[in-house]
Amino acid sequence: MAEQHPSPDGRAFALLLQGLASEMNLLGHDFASAQGLHSTDVQALLAVLRAADGGGVTPGKLREQLALTSGAVTAVLDRLERAGHVTRTRDANDRRQVRVQHNPGATRMAGRWFGPVAERTELVRREFSAAELDVVVRFLARMTEELEQLRVDRRDGAEQ
């Protein structure tokens, strides 16, 4: 069973969240370095890998998600394509539309790197009851929603 920690005050709680975010960020940077990629390339590759419908993602959607210019997205996709991680194809229904899909090797490469992360996540997850995990999931989902909205608001100039 996991060691019991006292309930943190607001500052201590924020520091714990910052520590988790920092470790995840550092893992991503290490992955980028090991693959000879820029950290933005990794964010784009992860977005392509997350495109669950199998139809890939459009460069415009990547531009939105990563807050990049069209030119920057093109440069990122050029690098990922040269590295063999993604393929750009024309949409069968609308030839003007480009779809970006990951290549099978990208999935294997990411799996080798992030597999141990998933194993450690599972190790920790098993230390908690279903009820505790329900609360954790609700918290993480809400934090993600709020931070996404803050990011969008700041980009749109709604929050200064």
Is 122 in the same domain as 150?
no
Same domain assignment for residues 40 and 106: yes
Question: Do residue 91 and residue 155 come from a single domain?
Answer: no
Domain membership flag for residue 91: yes
119 shares its domain with 145: no
Handedness of CA 51, 36, 30, 113 (dihedral sign): positive
Within-domain flag for 19: no
Question: Could you give the dihedral angle defined by the CA atoms of residues 43, 32, 80 and 67, in that order, rounded to the nearest 10 degrees?
Answer: 30
Give the domain range for residue 61. 29-127
Is the residue at 9 inside a domain? no
Q: Are residues 74 and 142 in the same domain?
A: no
User: Which residues have C-beta within 8 Å of that of residue 156, sequence separation ≥ 6?
Assistant: none
158 and 102 in a common domain: no
Number of domains in the chain: 2
Please tell me whether residues 113 and 156 are part of one structural domain: no
**Ordered alpha helix ranges (H), the chain:** 10-35, 39-50, 59-66, 70-82, 104-125, 130-155
Are 91 and 62 in a shared domain? Answer: yes
Do 42 and 81 contact (CB within 8 A), yes or no? no
Per-residue pLDDT at 54 = 63
Are 39 and 107 contained in the same domain?
Answer: yes
Q: What's the pLDDT at 121?
A: 94
Contacts of 36 (CB under 8 A, 6+ apart): 83
Query: What CATH number does residue 40 fall under?
Result: 1.10.10.10
In a domain, residue 157? The reply is yes
Judge if 143 and 92 occupy the same domain: no
- Please report the pLDDT score of residue 31 as a whole number: 87
Write down the pLDDT at residue 56.
Answer: 82
**pLDDT value for 44:** 92
Q: What is the pLDDT of residue 96?
A: 81
Report pLDDT for 158: 63
Regions of the chain with pLDDT less than 70: 1-6, 52-54, 158-160
Q: What is the pLDDT of residue 141?
A: 95
What's the confidence (pLDDT) of residue 50?
85
